[in-house]
A = this chain, B = another copy of it.
Amino acid sequence: MRPATRFLRNTPSILSAAAIGGKKEGDGPLGECFDKINDDAYMSTETFEKGESQLQKQAVRHLLDKSGLTASDIDIIFGGDLLNQCVGTTFGIRDFELPFLGIYAACSTMSEGLALASVFVDGGYSDRSIAVTSSHFCTAERQYRFPLNYGGQRAPTSQWTATAGGAVIVAKKEKPPYIRAVTVGRIVDLGVTDANNMGAAMAPAAYDTLSRFFKDTGKSPDFFDAVVTGDLGKIGSRLLCELFERDNINIRDNHKDCGMMLYDFDVQDVHAGASGCGCAASVLCGHFIPKLKSGEIENILFAATGALMSPTVNQQGESIPGISHAVWISHNDCESVPDIKF
């Protein structure tokens, strides 16, 4: 097996980050972290799908405003989302008229986009690239499970798709935080077929990618202030810790899951936690990046997690494969704290 991790020689900077949320996200424990909260699930459009596009448009607009840049300063947008044909992204970013590379990684989209943008900047193929993604409770439920009006009862293992978006600008090394390394994940499929238990479908993929990162780099979980997964929720998080325990690796003390952080379990009735591309993206952009910037925390390993679930083939009896990509983000660049060579 070839190493899956690449150290970035020039440690690009995350220049700016923006997080957008819906009402429920604003009411949660991270409510203060969002740049904008939308109280209207339609975001002043006529449909939920058009509403989701607004999340991405708002994320990119806030991102540019915060960084003092305009669209013409950006080389490429890497973006995707959960909607069929990734239309949240297509219609969200269309008006910026920027070169665009569409990606599909289900809820691990933010780490794929961040990894790609980082490699393009690190290698000199871009001066500044954006990674953006979103999810919306109302579009995801009707596409993946049932129309909301159906009023189906939610299973205890089910997670609440976040109505949220997040975006970052990756640019040449300038100021913290820096991207130090990326690990490209593999499709891992242990045969889960329950469309209401995404955490179980994704946990083995997170385990695979994180294990490979630790093996490739020689680092252990306690090197990081937080090993951050995307949206494993209660069940997937427990499974991840158990999988590492088999290898005598304690990830429990440093593991944080965005799906466990976004809502208040006691009052927000989200069953097994939050999910969706927008969950990992908004928690990264609104919560972790500001702390990495200020130096309050020094290193995170960000591994958003995706369930490559298709209602069509799921109904044909196929399982739900998972994938996870990891990005090491640090307050320190490669000169102040060099990498271990591999």
- Across the interface, A102 reaches (CB within 8 A) one of B50, B112, B189, namely B112
Taking a contact as CB atoms under 8 Å apart, the answer to whether A103 and B100 are in contact is: no
Nearest-CB distance from A289 to chain B (Å)?
A: 22
* A86 interface hit (Cβ, 8 Å): yes
Taking a contact as CB atoms under 8 Å apart, the answer to whether B100 and A185 are in contact is: yes
* A249 interface hit (Cβ, 8 Å): no
Taking a contact as CB atoms under 8 Å apart, the answer to whether A310 and B125 are in contact is: no
A-side interface residues toward B, CB under 8 Å?
1-2, 4, 6, 46-47, 49-50, 72-76, 80, 83-87, 90-91, 93-94, 97-106, 112, 115-116, 119-120, 122-125, 127, 143, 184-187, 189, 308-313, 316, 318, 321, 323, 325
Taking a contact as CB atoms under 8 Å apart, the answer to whether A312 and B103 are in contact is: no
Taking a contact as CB atoms under 8 Å apart, the answer to whether A49 and B312 are in contact is: yes
- Across the interface, A6 reaches (CB within 8 A) one of B105, B122, B125, namely B125
Whether A187 contacts B100 in the complex (CB less than 8 A), given A85-B310, A316-B46, comes out as: yes
Assembly of this chain: how many copies?
2
Name the residue of chain B whose CB is nearest to the CB of A325: B101
Give Cα distance in the complex from A119 to B6, angstroms.
14
Whether A104 contacts B106 in the complex (CB less than 8 A), given A90-B308, A308-B85, comes out as: no
- Across the interface, A101 reaches (CB within 8 A) one of B85, B116, B120, B122, namely B116
Nearest-CB distance from A185 to chain B (Å)?
A: 6
Taking a contact as CB atoms under 8 Å apart, the answer to whether B100 and A323 are in contact is: yes
Taking a contact as CB atoms under 8 Å apart, the answer to whether B125 and A85 are in contact is: no
Give Cα distance in the complex from A4 to B74, angstroms.
11
